[in-house]
């Protein structure tokens, strides 16, 4: 893994890993990045490098991101309820509540 300045992203090393699935053989050079336990120091180090690179490259767009997010939030009607729909013995509807990130599905 190497990083060569703000303009160049970190490059993951290539480690050939032969995989067979459904009788098909293929080489996955980045299989080593799979870490379901989230404990492999090499993977964690590489991801930290990627995150650092991303933050350094995107730092100039922070104000734009915040403005865009606020604009999109302004288009959303926050206290909204759908028309109820009857299915069997129950009515179903969904609603959004102010300052909540998820829709509530109700019966």
pLDDT-derived band at 4 (thresholds 50, 70, 90) equals very low
Tokens of 19: 């995989």
Q: What does the domain layout of the chain look like in residue ranges?
A: 1-75, 76-107
* Cα dihedral 72→75→76→77 (10° resolution): 160
pLDDT, tens digit, 9 for 90 and up, residues 54-101: 999 999 999 999 999 999 988 988 889 999 999 999 999 999 998 888
């Amino acid at each position: 893994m190497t990083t060569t300045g703000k303009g160049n992203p970190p490059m993951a090393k290539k480690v050939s890993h032969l995989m067979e699935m459904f009788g098909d053989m293929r080489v996955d050079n980045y299989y080593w990045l799979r870490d379901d336990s989230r404990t492999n120091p090499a993977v964690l180090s590489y991801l930290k490098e990627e995150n650092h690179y991303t933050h350094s490259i995107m730092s100039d767009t922070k104000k734009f991101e915040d403005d865009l997010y606020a604009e999109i939030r302004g288009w959303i009607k926050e206290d909204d309820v759908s028309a109820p729909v009857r299915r069997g013995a129950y009515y179903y509807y969904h609603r959004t509540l102010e300052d909540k990130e998820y829709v509530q599905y109700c019966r």
